Amino acid sequence: MAGPRTQIGLFSLVDHLSDPITGAQTTQGERLSELVELGVLAEQVGFERFAVGEHHFSEYILPNPNLILSAVAARTRRVRLFTTVTLIALHDPLRLAEDVAVIDALSGGRVELSVARGVSEETSSAFGIDHEDPYGVMGERLESLLGMLATHRASTVAGGSLPLSPRPVQKPHPPIWIGGGLSQGSCDLAAAHGLPLILPSLFRHPEDYLPMVERYRVEMGVRSPDVAPRLGMPSYCWVAETSQEARRRFQPRLEFYIERFKSLRHGFGRPMSFDSLLRGPVICGSPAEVVDRLAHVNELLALDTHILLMDLGGVPFGELRRAVELVGAHVLPQLR
């Protein structure tokens, strides 16, 4: 008997690069405006999540996913709104709880967070946080966030508490995922709190995650036996009418993207050539090929959600729109 269906989402890390094919580049404002349109398009074509990630001091130009998700929330009705990830060590838990509650109320209960440490030494220094104990900082702030969202109250220094306003719609609180899968720390933190785990957007092959995924599932059975483990994963993806056309359009953009961000995304000893990546973290081809690859990865890792990163490497929005619509018309229906 087949397991539960994997939900498919659309994901952006909001890189701001010129198109290596044409040399054209949007302004930063245009890129952010197109990102909102991408979230609206995700709902229109049938994606179940729209996800954006947080970065600082780089050519990834979105430092606060909540701002974009609020804009998308106001123009959509069904698609889940997902941060992948929120760098929780950089956030005051109270302000984050209030922001999450606002988006949850605005969207009618559709926001989800994934939280991760994922902070460089330079970023830690700029934000004034302790870089020596990342999981300690992350764990403390996660517990505070979970407590405030569940109780709708914030503690005061005098020992009292104050009500959160507005209150989140989802009960006991909006879903919170742990972003990780490279270390035992992230897996164990997710299991200790009974939370789902979402793997990172790196150039690592899906099968390389199997040992950590198994650890997460085993630890969930020990630490949170009443909660079913849930797993998510991102993949780089492009689709066109034929595999040849998909490769022709995606390869130069992916290679340009790799060159700019390989120090951040990593291959973990795997070759980072286009052909090698096609056998691992990159899904590129005709609709039928993309369906087959997605189904294989979904089954391999028993994924609950799979989010597709399509807007990288300076791809023009018109071309991106056509590819996303092709996924909606010919890929998503085959996976339901």
Quote the tokens at residue 310.
């399509």
Measured distance CA(234)–CA(84) in Å, rounded: 9
Burial (Cβ within 10 Å: 0-12, 13-18, ≥19) of residue 49: buried
Which residues are CB-contacts of 199 (< 8 A; sequence separation ≥ 6)? Answer: 180, 181, 209, 213, 231, 232, 233, 234
pLDDT at 28: 98
Rounded (10°) CA dihedral 26, 29, 30, 35: 120
**Distance of alpha carbon 112 from alpha carbon 75, whole angstroms:** 17
- Cα–Cα distance, 69 to 217 (Å, whole number): 30
Q: What is the pLDDT of residue 122?
A: 86
Q: How far apart are CA 166 and CA 259, in angstroms?
A: 44
118 Ramachandran zone, left/alpha/beta (phi>0; psi -120 to 50): left
The pLDDT of residue 208: 95
Q: Which CATH architecture has domain 7-335?
A: Alpha-Beta Barrel (3.20)
Q: For 68-121, how does the pLDDT look when each residue is reduced to its tens digit (9 = 90+)?
A: 999 999 999 999 999 999 999 899 999 999 999 999 999 999 999 999 987 778
**Amino acid 162: pLDDT:** 95
Whole-number pLDDT of residue 138: 86
Instruction: Give percent helix, percent strand, percent coil of the chain, each to the nearest 5.
Output: 45, 15, 35
Residue 136 pLDDT: 80
User: b or e along 295-318 (b: 16 or more beta carbons within 10 Å of the residue's beta carbon)?
Assistant: eebbeebebbbbbbbbbbbbbebe
Any idea what DSSP says for residue 58? S
DSSP calls for 200-217: --SS--GGGGHHHHHHHH
Q: What CA–CA distance (Å, rounded) separates 234 from 229? A: 17
- Gap between the Cα atoms of 158 and 154, Å rounded: 12
Question: In Å, how far are 8, 132, 138, 199, 202 from 120, measured between CA atoms?
Answer: 30, 11, 14, 18, 16
User: Which residues in the chain come in under a pLDDT of 50?
Assistant: 1-2
Q: What are 166's two structure tokens?
A: 């507005």
Tokens of 154: 């914030």
Question: In the chain, what are the domain boundaries?
Answer: 7-335
pLDDT tens-digit profile of 158-185? 889 999 999 999 999 999 999 999 989 9
